[in-house]
Chains A and B, each alone.
Chain A
Amino acid sequence: MSEAVIQVENLTKKFDDFYAVNNISFEVGRGEVFGFLGANGAGKTTAMKMLCGLLAPTSGKAMVAGFNVFGQQNEIKKNIGYMSQRFSLYEDLTVIENITFYGGIYGLTNVEIKERANRLIEMHGLGEVKNHLLVSLPLGWKQKLAFSVALIHRPRIVFLDEPTGGVDPITRRQFWESIYEAAHSGITLFVTTHYMDEAEYCDRISMMVDGEIKGLGTPAQLKHLHRAKNMDEVFVNLARKKEFIE
C-alpha cells in the first residue's frame, strides 16, 4: 500500500450508552478506492462523518490527509470532498450556480471556477442541463452533480456516502467509471455502499457489523477467507456470525 492518507486507530463514537462506532482501526492509501460496507445502521455514516469533521469522535485517533480529527477539522475540510447520503445541494439553483457557489466557498478564483466547472460538466455529461434548476433534474443527474461539487477544489480524499442509492444500473456504471477516473488522478475515494456487486469494484473493503469492523482486505482476500463465491456471501457470512454469537 502506498502512503496512508487516512489512518484510524481505535476510533469510537458513543451516543449515550450506545456504541455507534466501536473501536475501529484501518488505513487507506493514496489513490485507493476504499469500500466501506455494512448493513443499515452498522455505523458507516457515523464513522464517515467523524472522518469528515462533521461529528466529534468520543475517543481514539484518526488522521485524515495528515490532519487530526481532534482539533484540526478545518484543515481536513480543505483537503476533502464529501457527498452526502441525502442529496444536499440547492434545488432552487442551477447546476452551474451550485458549482460556482461551492467553488467560491472553497476560495477558488473566478478563472479557476470557470475552468474546473467546464471540465467537470464535460466529464459528467452535464452540459445540456447546466442552466437547469436542480429541482427539475432526475436523481441520477443530481448525483453526478454532487460528485462534481465534491471534486471542485481538487481534494486529496473524497468521501461518498451511498452515492448510487436509488439510481438506475446504467447511471451506476457511469458513476463508477467517474470514480475510477478520479482514483487514477491520485484522489483517494472512500465509498460506502450496500450494493455488494459494487464492493467488487473497490481496491479494498472493510465490512462493518454493529459498529465494529469484522472484515478488512481486498475483495479476493475476503472471498477466499470466507470460502465465498461473491461478496454477497461474505456479507451474509459475517452478518450471520453475529447471530450465532447472540
Chain B
Amino acid sequence: MRIIFFIIRKEFRQIFRNKAMLPIIFILPMIQLLILSNAATYEIQNINIVVIDGDNTITSHRLISKLEGSPYFNLQEVVNNRQNGLIRLDKGQTDMVLEIPMHFEKNTTNRIPVKLQLSADAIDGIKAGLGSGYIQSIISEFGNAMILVSGQTRTIGGVRISYSNWYNESLDYKTFMVPGILVLLVTMIGSFLSGMNIVREKEIGTIEQLNVTPIRKHQFIIGKLFPFIVIAVFELSFGLALARIIFHTPFIGSFWLIMAFSLVYMLVVLGIGLLISTITDTQQQAMFISWFFMVIFILMSGLFTPIENMPLWAQKITLFNPVRYFIEVMRMVMLKGAGFQEIKYHFLIVAGYGVGILSLATWRYRKTT
C-alpha cells in the first residue's frame, strides 16, 4: 500500500508540474465540450431556398411569407419562371427550389387538391431530407390555417398524428449530444494520458530504474492508473456541471450512479491505454494506435450515427465498443432517470471488459525482457 502511495504522489507531482499538460488535461476538454456541443447538431437552419411563384396571388404570397418567417429557411429569391428557378439549383447557388403552380389560389379555395413541387440538392442527404420535412410541415400548417380562415368546417376525416417527444420534448440536440460528448472527453483523457505516460517512461529510460526495484506489477499499475481515474472522474463531474449551467442539460437520474459507472468504465479505458503502452516503445507509436481505436470507438459509439442504422455486422462490432455502453448509460440515466436495475447489464459487461483488458495488460507488462 505504501509503495502505491509513493507512486501516486510522484505521478501527481509530475502531472501538476508539467505546465504544458495542465491546460491539455483541464482546459482543452472544456473548450471541446463547448464547441462540439454547439457544432455537432442534426438541426439544420438557414437552408437556402428559391421559390418559383407561378400563381402570384395573395395566397401564394402568404405561403411565401411563411417560408420567409421560418428560421429554417433563407429565402433567396422569388422568381416567376420555372427555368430561372431550376438553374439556380444546377449552379449550386441554392439548396432547394419550391414551385407554386398556377391556379394555386383558385384551386385551394375551391378545395381542389393542388401539387407543389419541391426540388432539393440532395448531395448532403441529411440536409435535403430535413429541409423537405420542414417544408412539408410549413405547408400543412398553412393548409390547416387556410381552412380556418375560410370559415369552412373540415369535412375530411381520417387520422391525425400528434407527436410528443418523450425525454427530450423540444428535440434539443444539445440534450442529446452533451452526455455523449462528455463520454468522449473522459475516454480520450483516460486512454491517451495513461498510455502515453507509461510509454514516456520507456522512451526516456526511467522505467529501467523502476524495473530494477522489487516493485510488484500490480503496485506499479495501480499507482500509475489511479491518478488518471481521479482526473477523469473530476473532469466528468466538472463537465456535467458545465452542461447543467450552460446547456441546461436535464439530469433526472442519480449523479452517483453515473459516477459509479464511470469508475468501472475507466478501468476499461485505462486498461486499453496500458495495453497499448505495453506493446509500443515510443509515444509516436502509442499515439497512432490510440488514434486508430479512438476513431473507430467514436464513430461507432452511436453518438453521431444511430447504431440501429448500421448494417448488422457493424452493429455486432459496436458490442465491443466500451464507449457505446457509457453513452447509452449517460443518456438513460441523465435523460430518462434510469436506475441501477435498468443499466445492470451495462455494468456487468463493462466490468467484465475492464477485468479482461486489465488482466491482459498486466500479463503483457514485463519487468524482465
Which residues from chain A sit less than 8 Å from chain B, CB to CB?
52-56, 73-75, 77-78, 80, 82, 84, 86-93, 97, 100-102, 104-107, 149
The answer to whether A77 touches B14 (Cβ under 8 A) is no
The answer to whether A101 touches B10 (Cβ under 8 A) is yes
Given contacts A90-B10, A93-B14, contact A54 B214 (CB under 8 A): no
- Excluding A53-B367, A102-B213, A105-B210, 20 further A-B contacts by CB distance (< 8 Å) are A53-B368, A54-B211, A54-B212, A55-B369, A56-B368, A77-B213, A84-B208, A88-B204, A88-B205, A93-B17, A101-B6, A101-B7, A104-B3, A104-B6, A105-B6, A105-B213, A105-B215, A107-B2, A107-B3, A107-B214
The answer to whether B369 touches A92 (Cβ under 8 A) is no
Bound complex: CA of A104 vs CA of B13, how far in Å? 15
Q: Which residue of chain A lies nearest to B219 when distances are taken between CB atoms in the complex?
A: A105
The answer to whether B14 touches A90 (Cβ under 8 A) is yes
- Which residue from A77, A84, A88, A89 sits with its C-beta under 8 Å from B214? A77
Interface size on B, residues (CB 8 A): 27
* CB-defined contacts of B209 to chain A, threshold 8 Å: 82, 84, 88-89, 102, 149
Bound complex: CA of A149 vs CA of B5, how far in Å? 19
The answer to whether B214 touches A74 (Cβ under 8 A) is yes
* CB-defined contacts of B205 to chain A, threshold 8 Å: 84, 86-88
Bound complex: CA of A77 vs CA of B214, how far in Å? 5
- Min Cβ gap B220→A in Å is 9
The answer to whether A86 touches B208 (Cβ under 8 A) is yes
For residue B18, CB closer than 8 A to chain A, the reply is yes
For residue B93, CB closer than 8 A to chain A, the reply is no
CB-defined A-B contacts under 8 Å, sample of 17: A52-B212, A53-B367, A54-B212, A55-B369, A56-B368, A73-B367, A77-B212, A78-B214, A88-B204, A90-B10, A92-B14, A93-B10, A93-B14, A93-B17, A101-B10, A105-B215, A149-B209
- Min Cβ gap A35→B in Å is 20
| Residues in B203-248 with C-beta less than 8 Å from chain A | 204-216
* Most chain A C-beta atoms within 10 Å of own C-beta, residue among B5, B7, B206, B216: B206
Bound complex: CA of A54 vs CA of B17, how far in Å? 30
* CB-defined contacts of A80 to chain B, threshold 8 Å: 212
Bound complex: CA of A82 vs CA of B211, how far in Å? 10
| Residues in B178-210 with C-beta less than 8 Å from chain A | 204-210
Can you list, as one digit per residue, whether each of B7-31 has a CB less than 8 Å from chain A (1) or not (0)?
A: 1011001100110000000000000
* Most chain B C-beta atoms within 10 Å of own C-beta, residue among A52, A77, A80, A149: A77
Q: Which residue of chain A lies nearest to B212 when distances are taken between CB atoms in the complex?
A: A82
* CB-defined contacts of B10 to chain A, threshold 8 Å: 90, 93, 97, 101
* Consensus secondary structure, chain B interface: helix
- Min Cβ gap B221→A in Å is 14
- Min Cβ gap B152→A in Å is 81
* Most chain B C-beta atoms within 10 Å of own C-beta, residue among A73, A75, A100, A105: A105
* CB-defined contacts of B3 to chain A, threshold 8 Å: 104-105, 107
Given contacts A74-B214, A77-B212, A104-B3, contact A55 B13 (CB under 8 A): no
Q: Which residue of chain A lies nearest to B10 when distances are taken between CB atoms in the complex?
A: A101
Bound complex: CA of A149 vs CA of B206, how far in Å? 13
Q: Which residue of chain B lies nearest to A107 when distances are taken between CB atoms in the complex?
A: B3
- Min Cβ gap A7→B in Å is 20
| Residues in B340-369 with C-beta less than 8 Å from chain A | 367-369
- Which residue from A53, A92, A93 sits with its C-beta under 8 Å from B212? A53
* CB-defined contacts of B369 to chain A, threshold 8 Å: 54-56
Q: Which residue of chain A lies nearest to B206 when distances are taken between CB atoms in the complex?
A: A88
Bound complex: CA of A80 vs CA of B214, how far in Å? 10
* CB-defined contacts of A104 to chain B, threshold 8 Å: 2-3, 5-6
* CB-defined contacts of B7 to chain A, threshold 8 Å: 101, 105
The answer to whether B213 touches A106 (Cβ under 8 A) is yes
- Min Cβ gap B272→A in Å is 25
- Min Cβ gap B254→A in Å is 38
**Which 8 residue pairs spanning A and B have beta carbons closest together?**
A104-B6, A82-B212, A88-B209, A77-B214, A88-B205, A86-B205, A78-B214, A105-B213
The answer to whether B215 touches A54 (Cβ under 8 A) is no
* CB-defined contacts of B208 to chain A, threshold 8 Å: 54, 84, 86, 88
* CB-defined contacts of B368 to chain A, threshold 8 Å: 53-56, 73
- Min Cβ gap A87→B in Å is 7
Q: Which residue of chain B lies nearest to A146 when distances are taken between CB atoms in the complex?
A: B209
Q: Which residue of chain B lies nearest to A153 when distances are taken between CB atoms in the complex?
A: B213
Q: Which residue of chain B lies nearest to A84 when distances are taken between CB atoms in the complex?
A: B208
* CB-defined contacts of B17 to chain A, threshold 8 Å: 92-93
Bound complex: CA of A54 vs CA of B212, how far in Å? 6
